[in-house]
Chain A
């Protein structure tokens, strides 16, 4: 390899910046900025008529709750939705990117988007970045092949299953599913089961909290229910600490008009910057 001219790399992802980051960290004194993680409970099940996805609404930044009511169920296509756990920015932008690619694909093909397409695009994107894009997703939707539910891990592997959970509260939610899942639940039973699973995460996992959001996807429509259940109401203050009017006695009121003089007036016409606008 020539010492002066760097050879052009062919395709693939350049990990040059990762090497640079490791070097900077090894030198000491520089701390990587902490990514906002969603520390989440997300879950999905397949029921009689379709798919139900559920998520909690807490976003954490280390040990602090960064957002009390964030949105974890992302739109991918009219018939496909995706819950995301992991780094908030990664899940948001990855799902948005795939949603836009699928919209172009839908317009190109003239057909309803299939969930396997979303799965493949997400998987191939995440694998390309070797786990550095920290997005753990629960992808669900209904297409011509029926209901589809699967989970996608940050390194790019996917599993297609009748019930899945991801995030820090996934064990608590999976406990509920393994205990009570049956193949042909009705819509109401299925909604309650997913809500129960998310609540198990909310109350037993510190990374999850606040409310339960649901998304019910059937052959005909997809319905976002946000919130499905407000599990943690904000407490009502027991006392009023505002001072009543008149606590401080007003002894004298003085009103004075501020005198100002008009120095000059001018009138200007608002002119367009170019003169190309010609209406024939």
Chain B
């Protein structure tokens, strides 16, 4: 007899990397607009970053249905906040803590949510950027990337932050993120050249729906043979 829980260890529709970086006065995260069905590029307008409230944004890679499940639970909490109408809203660190407990609890029951979630926002006017994975591993860092972004984008972002002493402007952050998304499109087999960004600053949070990458294929003229 097949064990009923075995279905949950097989991600179906997946999203690839999410990258995030802190800048002076805010945070931004970016993810491409692709939902892959195995090796097929099935959904090419799948938004994977989401605005929770004026202080927080969330993004995730991995199984998209598990991500929708998490989002639904979060939106229920946001609606509760709205109904209570007492001036308090969920802050990024609270959401991050909640997410960690949910993910770790699921993994302890051998029924993980197959995601790596990135939570970003302003916590008491201080930029916050954290990530929780399907095992419940949670950490905060000045720059975060999931999936292949961990190998390709993190070295670039870390080098850039170190060069600028961890203080960069929003424009610089957008530029680095664009370079990293380009990098991922070149070298990740499940990436896409259109992506969306979610930015949180003191003014508020917003999601910019669709940015297109300007890719450079000039190197193709130098590739002639395998010999």
User: Which residues does A use to contact B, with CB under 8 Å?
Assistant: 46, 116, 119-120, 150, 157-163, 171-172, 174-176, 178-179, 181, 183, 196, 200-201, 203-204
Contacts of B222 in A (CB 8 A): 46, 161-162, 183
Known: A162-B219, A162-B222, A183-B222. A175 touches B227 (CB 8 A): no
**How many Å from the CB of B220 to the closest CB on chain A?**
10
Interchain CB contact under 8 A, B151 and A171: yes
B186 at the interface (CB under 8 A from A): yes
Interchain CB contact under 8 A, B152 and A200: no
Interchain CB contact under 8 A, A171 and B187: yes
Interchain CB contact under 8 A, B227 and A119: yes
Given contacts A162-B223, A172-B152, 16 further A-B contacts (CB under 8 A): A46-B222, A116-B227, A119-B227, A160-B227, A162-B219, A171-B148, A174-B152, A175-B183, A175-B187, A176-B155, A176-B159, A179-B179, A181-B219, A200-B156, A204-B155, A204-B158
Instruction: Specify the chain B residue showing the minimal Cβ separation from A181.
Output: B219
B129 at the interface (CB under 8 A from A): no
- What CA separation (Å) do A176 and B155 show in the bound complex? 8
Contacts of A157 in B (CB 8 A): 226
- What CA separation (Å) do A175 and B187 show in the bound complex? 8
A selection of 21 A-B contacts at a CB cut-off of 8 Å is A116-B227, A158-B227, A160-B224, A162-B219, A162-B223, A163-B219, A171-B152, A172-B151, A172-B155, A174-B187, A175-B152, A178-B187, A179-B156, A183-B219, A183-B222, A200-B155, A201-B155, A203-B158, A204-B151, A204-B154, A204-B158
B225 at the interface (CB under 8 A from A): yes
Instruction: Specify the chain A residue showing the minimal Cβ separation from B185.
Output: A178
Interchain CB contact under 8 A, B223 and A160: yes
Contacts of A158 in B (CB 8 A): 226-227
Interchain CB contact under 8 A, A176 and B151: no
**What count of chain B residues pass the 8 Å CB interface test?**
22
Counting from the closest, the 5 A-B pairs by CB-CB distance are A171-B151, A200-B155, A172-B155, A204-B155, A175-B152
Contacts of B224 in A (CB 8 A): 160
Chain B 8-28, CB-CB to A under 8 Å as 1, else 0, gives 000000000000000000000
**How many Å from the CB of A9 to the closest CB on chain B?**
31
Contact of A178 among B154, B186, B223 (CB under 8 A): B186
- What CA separation (Å) do A29 and B156 show in the bound complex? 45
Interchain CB contact under 8 A, A200 and B223: no
**How many Å from the CB of B39 to the closest CB on chain A?**
20
- What CA separation (Å) do A204 and B160 show in the bound complex? 13
- B interface SS class: helix
Contacts of B158 in A (CB 8 A): 203-204
Chain B 165-201, CB-CB to A under 8 Å as 1, else 0, gives 0000000000000010011001100000000000000
- What CA separation (Å) do A168 and B154 show in the bound complex? 15
Instruction: Specify the chain A residue showing the minimal Cβ separation from B179.
Output: A179
Contacts of A203 in B (CB 8 A): 155, 158
Contacts of B225 in A (CB 8 A): 160
- What CA separation (Å) do A39 and B13 show in the bound complex? 33
Interchain CB contact under 8 A, A159 and B226: yes
B138 at the interface (CB under 8 A from A): no
Chain B 127-169, CB-CB to A under 8 Å as 1, else 0, gives 0000000000000000000001001111110110000000000
Known: A171-B187, A179-B183. A200 touches B159 (CB 8 A): yes
Contacts of B151 in A (CB 8 A): 171-172, 175, 204
Within 199-227 of B, Cβ neighbours of A (below 8 Å) are at 218-219, 222-227
**How many Å from the CB of A165 to the closest CB on chain B?**
10
Contacts of A200 in B (CB 8 A): 155-156, 159
Residue of A163, A196, A200 most packed against chain B (CB within 10 A):
A200
Interchain CB contact under 8 A, B155 and A175: yes
**How many Å from the CB of A39 to the closest CB on chain B?**
14
Interchain CB contact under 8 A, A175 and B219: no
Instruction: Specify the chain A residue showing the minimal Cβ separation from B148.
Output: A171
- What CA separation (Å) do A201 and B158 show in the bound complex? 12
Instruction: Specify the chain B residue showing the minimal Cβ separation from A196.
Output: B159
Contacts of A171 in B (CB 8 A): 148, 151-152, 187
- What CA separation (Å) do A196 and B163 show in the bound complex? 13
Contact of B153 among A116, A160, A163, A175 (CB under 8 A): A175
Instruction: Specify the chain A residue showing the minimal Cβ separation from B156.
Output: A175
- What CA separation (Å) do A248 and B215 show in the bound complex? 74
- What CA separation (Å) do A158 and B224 show in the bound complex? 13
- What CA separation (Å) do A46 and B156 show in the bound complex? 22
- What CA separation (Å) do A160 and B219 show in the bound complex? 12
Contacts of A183 in B (CB 8 A): 218-219, 222
**How many Å from the CB of A166 to the closest CB on chain B?**
14
Instruction: Specify the chain A residue showing the minimal Cβ separation from B219.
Output: A162
